[in-house]
Copies of this chain bind each other. A is one copy, B any other.
Amino acid sequence: MARALLTAADVKGAWAIVPTPSKEGASDWRATDTVNVDEAARMVNGLIEAGVDGILSMGTLGEAATMTLDEKLVFMKTIVDAAAGRVPVFVGTTCINTRDTIALTRQAVDIGATGTMLGVPMWCAPSVDTAVQFYKDVAEAVPDINIAIYANPEAFKFDFPRTFWGQVAEIPQVVTAKYIGVGTLLPDLAAIKGRIKLLPIDFDYYGAARMDDSIDAFWTSGAVCHPLVSTTLRDLVVQARASGDWSKAKAFMGRLAPTAAPLFPNGSFKEFSTYNIPLEKARMTAGGWMNAGPCRPPYHLCPETYLEGARTSGRMWAELGKALEAER
């Protein structure tokens, strides 16, 4: 039986991007069955109890590149079961071609995932035509899946231009997007005509929400450092919109923004992208709320000074969370 698809309006609030927790030894190429299912279930349940509105998983930091197929299926089932229908759960099914992606997406539907956070095959840089056709093909092949466009220009060798957004907005299954930056937000919003809910990153959410009233959701990989930070950000924007007074939300951004800086080596997004996985997992574990575990090969190596920056970022986030607890 066909499932009802979500609409852009159904995507609201704080959407946590989660890692795939791993067992000790997961950095060794000999390791198998590396998913820490207990920690995965605990993580998802804890986020939902803390009030997040949706789960995004198996993107770059979620190690979609480095999990085996069996591990992907185990992890999908684990988090879908843990969520138990309380919030939408999007899993990543990005493969390096259309047919493998379709096969995996069908398995995600069978497991009960709400949607897929889906990037573009990245062996060759895609043209706009190639990227659009890819999403059309997956949507046609798996009509019951909700699709979140995973717009990461470094991972996918693609700058996700306006002409792309205008075309994928016509695909009914495409309901949301893990968006990046705010530099082209307003023109891109004009291109999608309300058909896709664009999710900025938590650090950009305040600015994006002020720019356009349609922005009422965001993605947050920091949530697993301390979820209260993410939900507070969400709630302050709701309050600001209701009251017309943005001063509290702005003041909160003044506390949140400094936690971002040490995550980016030399302030560079490109350099961050090279070490995205080890940096994000180090940040998450340093937050103290969960154990993201070691990174799977080959993305398990990272300069120690970069890692220490990431850990600092995670600790700063967690400290902000603890301060918020005390302020309640």
Contact = CB atoms under 8 A, between A and B. Distances in A.
B65 A121 contact: yes
A149 to B, nearest CB: 15
Nearest to A32: B99
A74 interface: no
B125 A163 contact: no
A134 interface: yes
A96 interface: yes
A25 interface: no
Given A123-B122, A123-B155, A126-B274, A297 B207 contact: no
Contacts of A270: 125
Nearest to A67: B97
A297 B98 contact: yes
Nearest to A246: B213
Interface of A: 29-32, 60, 64-68, 96-100, 102, 120-127, 129-131, 133-134, 137, 140-141, 154-155, 157, 161-163, 181-187, 190, 206-207, 210-212, 244, 253-254, 257, 267, 270, 273-277, 296-299, 301
12 contacts: A29-B99, A65-B97, A65-B124, A68-B100, A97-B298, A99-B296, A121-B298, A124-B276, A127-B275, A133-B298, A182-B211, A210-B210
